[in-house]
Amino acid sequence: MATAAAAAAAAAVSSPAAPRAGAAAAAIARRGFVTFGAGAARSSPTLRSGRGFSGVRTYVAAVEQAVAKDATKLEAPVVIVTGASRGIGKAIALALGKAGCKVLVNYARSSKEAEDVSKEIEAAGGEAITFGGDVSKEADVESMMKAALDKWGTIDILVNNAGITRDTLLMRMKKSQWQDVIDLNLTGVFLCTQAATKVMMKKKKGRIINIASVVGLTGNVGQANYSAAKAGVIGFTKTVAREYASRNINVNAIAPGFIASDMTAELGEELEKKILSTIPLGRYGQPEEVAGLVEFLALNPAASYITGQVRWHYDCISLRFFCSEFYLITFQLTLVTRRCLPLTEGW
C-alpha cells in the first residue's frame, strides 16, 4: 500500500497543460451551474417560492440566465473522484471532466489507466491530475486533499467510488477478508468525507455523492462483508446529510444494480441469460448511465434541494428479482471474480 510520501509523489505524476478556460466555462454554462464560481454566494438566485415545482423551475431558469449573462467569469468546480481509473469511477471522472470540472483522478494500483483518464479529460478541454493513494489510509487521504488544494485551491465536489470485493460464504470468510472490504468501502468513505467537508464548510458549499450498491439494501449470498459496508454507506450518507445541511453541503448516494464491467464480460452465456432474464430491460446498466446521475447530483441547480437521498439505479427491480434463485445466480457471479481478485469498482 502507498505511504503518505509515496502518495504525495504519485500526485505529481500527471501535470496537465493549461486548460482551455473558454471551453470549460461554456460546458458549465450549458448546465446552468454557477454555485461554485467566484462570488456565487452573492450572485446565485434564491429559491423562495413555496409553490412546489413551479418554484424549482423558476429557480433553475434564473440560474441559467445568470450563467448565460457572464459565463466567462465562472470558476470550474474542483472534483475528487476516488477509484477513477476504470469502470464506474472512470465514467464519472470523464463525465465531470467533460462537463467543465477540474478533476483529481484517484487510483490505488492502476496508474496507467488513471493517466489515460486524465489525458482524455484534457483532450476534451478539461483539466485533471492523477493521484495514487489508498483511501482507507488516513495519511493518503490527507495527501490527496492537499494535492487538490495545492493545484486548485479548493474542493467543491467529492465522489466516493473506490471499493473492492472479497467474496465468499460467511462460514469461510476470514477476518482479513471482512476487514479489507470494510476498511476500503466504508472507512474510506468516512475518511474522504471528513477531510473534504473541512474545506467545504469554510465556503458553505459542496456536494458529495457516495456510490453504494443495491446489495446494501437487499444483502447477497457470499457478500456479507460487501453488503454490510454498502449498507453502512447508505446510513452514513443519510446522517452526514443531516449534519451538514445547515452548511449547504448536499450529500447523496447512488445504489447501482448490475452494471456492465470486466466481471460481467467474463460470464458464460448460460449464466448471463439467467441474470438478464431477471432484468425487465433485458440488459446490464452502463457505467455512463450511473455517471449521468452523478453529474446531475453534482452540477445541476435542480439538484440543490436534494440531500440525504439514495437513488436506486436499476431497472424496476422487484421482490422476484431477489428471490432465492437470484441469490444463487449472483453467488455464481461472485465466484467468477475470484479468478481476478482483487476485484475493483474502478479502483
Sequence ranges of the binding site for NADP(+): 83-86, 161, 226-230, 259
- Catalytic residue (choose from 226, 305, 314, 327): 226
DSSP 74: P
Beta strands at 164-165 and 343-344: parallel, antiparallel or unpaired: antiparallel
Residues 100/124, Cβ–Cβ less than 8 Å: no
Within 8 A by CB and 6+ apart from 185, the residues are: 162, 163, 164, 226, 229, 230, 233
Integer Cα distance of 15 and 9 in angstroms? 12
Q: Answer yes or no: are the C-beta atoms of 188 and 236 closer than 8 Å.
A: no
Whether 226 sits among the annotated catalytic residues: the reply is: yes
What are the grid coordinates assigned to 56, written together?
424549482
Helix (H, G, I), strand (E, B) or coil at 164: strand
| Amino acid in position 40 | A
Catalytic residue annotation: 226
